Structure 1
Amino acid sequence: MTDSRSALSTLLAGPTGLGTSAARFVAEVAAARLPEPEAPAAEPETPAVEPVHDPAYAYRPWGDGSAPPLYCPVTERIDDVLAEEVNQRLVSWAADCGFSDEECEQIGKTGFARLVMLAHPDCDDPDRLLISAKLNAAWWAADDLYADDTALGAVPAELPPRLALAMAAMDPLPPLGEFSRELDETLAGDRVLIALRTGTDYLRQYGTPAQSQRVCYSTFTMFVSWNAYAAWNHSGKYPPAWEYIAARQHDSFYTSMTLIDVLGGYELPANLYYDARVRQAAIQAGTASVLVNDLHSVTKDLADENPPCNMVLQVAADRGCSVEEATETTVELHNDVVRDFQEAHESLLPVASPELQRFLRGLRSWMGGGFEWHSTSPRYRTDPAAAEAH
């Protein structure tokens, strides 16, 4: 079998070896200096060819149906029996972490187990699905209790030191004698930190060291964006949409997607995972999915005493337009990002790596499952009767 790393390198980088980078540079400069070729003689027009529709994608209505539909992958699997099995284990774990009965009930109703069932259709093992359910629940708890929801105790000025401890919880530090005692006590006394620590410990039972550390570092990158939001919130100087979306690309469902191969029971090698074009496709998938989150979160965010940043709200503020107009702009952006991912996926199909092809399909599956979850989770439903039905 062709080595997958070599295959991707050959496809994406062109010729390699001593002197080839300089040769490519000289060729590019020479090409840039060449005069424009003369326009060829006009040829008879041929009818435009309609692009072939990919059945893996569809325009999907959302919310109350008043906004334009979202171009999104279809949802590949709905298995609520499997989701409920994972959910029972998740709620039991949350109780062990120290969340109150009310909080555990809320975690169960939010449906993180259903999210991972929808987003990872190539995994039907409840123990593996529980990896993602635990970590997503822990990330959301940190987001709500530390970063976003002032009604739940989030204080912008206190976020950076809290996140420093969150990193220590996920990525254990070497012991430092007496200076570790208070740290250990703190990590053992905060339910969010316990959730992050035990969720990451559970990941390490299934993932390789490289996969586990990949999850940690993508989480810590996400925390940097959270600190930016906190600074904006604390100062009252909210960012323009372009600056917000720059930060949002590192605070997206990309972090959740780092678990795709772990749940699938394989490993995408690091030099493929971090190749520029593969990483770009993954960031596109994560960004598209988080724009779905922003679109569904507008009502909830507006109800907060200090509304968190949200792409729709930032566009509305920038342009002085209505939320409805900003929603249309955000939908259009989402749809463009999904099309960009679709093109990137297609361009990587020739790479002879089964792991890469499975991972790329996993990214697509995550987008389709994430859309389904946002459309049905009580967390984002404004109609209580409709939420109860799901």
Structure 2
Amino acid sequence: MTPGLPPPGPTGIGTSAATLAETSRPARAVAALYCPTAVRTHPALAQQVQHRLHQWADSLGLPPQAIAGHGQLAVLTHPDTDDPARLTTAAQLLAVGKLIEAAAPPPPNPPGPAPVLVQALDIALQEIYDACDTPHTARHPTPAPSPVTSDQPALRSALAALSALPASPYQLDRVRRAYQALAAATPTGSGPHPPWEHLSHAHINAYSPALTALDAIEGYELSPAAAAHPDLQRTQHLAALAAALLQDLAHPAPTGLTAAIARADRLGTPAATRRAAAIHDDTMHAFHHHATELAATADPATGRYLAALWTWLGGHHTFHTAP
């Protein structure tokens, strides 16, 4: 079995939700989720990467919050490299993804009908499991206008840094297309845009570009056939969805999943948190299942990529549980 993919743990929806019966505090909720933890910490390296990020953000006029903590996040999620340049590029790609997601207009106040959010997440999971496509594919076949496009300075700069690692033209194209898909999935215009639209389309895709770049960041390359394989795409999309759901639990917001479930089902915050945790765990179990099956027959590069997805999720988990 590929290193980094341990045997599957307990199965079933909501494995960790039972441990949340007495708390709704985000840190406790996230710590109890079915998810690995980081395999390395390196505060000095994280500080070095963060310093580089500040220089990059200043040169582009980006707000400090666009890169807050991203140096630490890059170090936690990429344990296979100690190269500050590679880690800085990884952090830049994460920052651009969040900038695109944040470009969506705010939802109306009060938010729109929450039940549609739960339905949209069900559809997203169904499409990932069965159709091997991201949820936006059928709805947005052509990238829509977005405040962050391939001509936007932050994305152009991040792609240039990726090219300098070096990354192949095919790797760059994969990452560029992931950003175009994210921009296409991000609601634009004057609205109103209910919160389910933002979460079910843009938010669950916000991590896809960074995960698409894993092989380039860590110095190897998936073959075009492997990268385009429906089973690998499904596995990657599940990892991206799990990361987005974990972030929602770590940073509850009125437009997030927990709040939407609370409104839809008239639940208190603790019960809604348990249900959101169950959705996350179901997604992680599905990811683990698909990744383990693929790893059994994978070529070396694909096996390394699957292991990197697992360790990336562990670093992301640790980042959101750190004090």
Amino acid at match of 2:229: D
Question: Does 2:170 correspond to 1:197?
Answer: no
1:120 has 2:78 as partner: yes
Question: What secondary structure, in the 3-state scheme, does the structure 1 residue paired with 2:38 have?
Answer: coil
Question: Partner of 2:184 in structure 1?
Answer: 224
1:149-175 deviation line (CA, Å, top 9, x unaligned): 69xxxxxxxxxx995453241xxxxxx
State the distance in 2 between where 1:52 and 1:97 align: 44
Q: 1:341 aligns with which of 259, 264, 287?
A: 287
How far the C-alpha of 1:343 sits from its partner, in A, is 1.2
Match for 1:119: what amino acid? T
Moved more, 59-68 or 79-88: 59-68
1:173 matched residue in structure 2 = none
- SS state at 1:133 partner: helix
Contact 2:29-2:250 at 8 Å conserved across structures = no
**Which of the numbers 282, 285, 289 marks the counterpart of 2:239?**
285
Map of 1:272 onto structure 2: 226
2:201 to 227, 241, 247: 247
Deviation at 1:136, TM superposition (A): 1.7
- Contact 1:67 / 1:328 at 8 angstroms: preserved in 2? no
TM-score w.r.t. the length of structure 2 is 0.74
Q: 2: CA distance between counterparts of 1:64 and 1:357?
A: 32
Q: How many residue pairs were aligned?
A: 272
RMSD: 3.1
Check the 8 A contact 1:221/1:250 in 2, yes or no: no
Matched, 1:260 2:203: no
Aligned partner of 1:234 in structure 2 is 191
Aligned counterpart, 2:276: 330
Helix, strand or coil for the counterpart of 1:362? Answer: helix
Choose from 354, 367, 375 the match for 2:321: 375
Shift of 1:269: 1.0
**CA 1:136/1:244 → structure 2, altered by over 3 Å: closer, same or farther?**
closer
C-alpha separation in 2, matches of 1:149 and 1:87: 29
Q: Secondary structure at the match of 1:315?
A: helix
Normalising by structure 1, report the TM-score: 0.62
Q: Flag the 1:236–1:201 CA change in 2: closer, same or farther, 3 A.
A: closer
- The aligned counterpart of 2:98 is 140
Closer, same or farther in 2 for the Cα pair 1:267/1:67, shift >3 Å? closer
Cα 1:215/1:52, change in 2 over 3 Å: closer
Cα distance in structure 2, aligned partners of 1:336 and 1:89: 37
In structure 2, how many angstroms separate the alpha carbons of the residues matched to 1:275 and 1:249?
23
What's the CA shift for 1:68? 8.2
| C-alpha distance after superposition, 1:84-118 (max 9, x if no partner) | 1111111111111124xxx34x456x211111111
Match of 1:76 in 2: 39
Q: Which amino acid aligns with 1:283?
A: H
Q: Choose 1 or 2 for highest CA Rg.
A: 1
Q: Secondary structure at the match of 1:73?
A: coil
Deviation of 1:255 after TM superposition, in Å, equals 2.1
The 5 Å alignment of 1:46-65 reads: 63-65=26-28
Partner Cα distance (1:168, 1:53) in 2: 40
- Distance in 2 (CA, whole Å) between partners of 1:310 and 1:282 is 22
Identify the structure with bigger relative contact order (alpha carbons < 8 Å, sequence gap 6+): 2
Answer yes or no: is the 8 Å Cα contact 1:249–1:286 preserved in 2: no
Tell me the amino acid that sits aligned with residue 153 of structure 2: I
Task: Measure the CA separation in 1 of the matches of 2:267 and 2:231.
Answer: 35
Alpha-carbon distance in structure 2 between the residues aligned to 1:263 and 1:94: 20
Specify whether residues 324 and 244 from structure 1 end up closer, same or farther in structure 2 by C-alpha distance, changes over 3 A only: farther
Aligned residues: percent identity?
A: 25
1: distance between equivalents of 2:181 and 2:96? 16
Task: Identify if the C-alpha distance between structure 1 residues 272 and 67 changes in structure 2 by more than 3 Å, giving closer, same or farther.
Answer: closer
CA distance in structure 2 between the aligned counterparts of 1:246 and 1:143, rounded to whole angstroms: 12
Structure with the largest fraction of helix: 1
Secondary structure, in 3 states, of the residue corresponding to 2:148? helix
Structure 2: state its 5+ residue gaps. 1-6, 108-142
CA contact (8 A) 2:238 2:287 kept: yes
Q: Distance in 2 between matches of 1:325 and 1:285?
A: 24
Q: CA deviation at 1:64?
A: 4.3
Is contact 1:223–1:251 with CA below 8 Å preserved after alignment? no
Contact 2:179 2:209 in 1 (8 A): yes
Contact conserved, 1:67 with 1:327, CA < 8 A, in 2?
no
Contact kept in structure 1, 2:45 and 2:75, CA below 8 Å? yes
Indicate conservation of the 8 Å contact 2:30/2:320, yes or no.
no
Partner of 1:166: 148
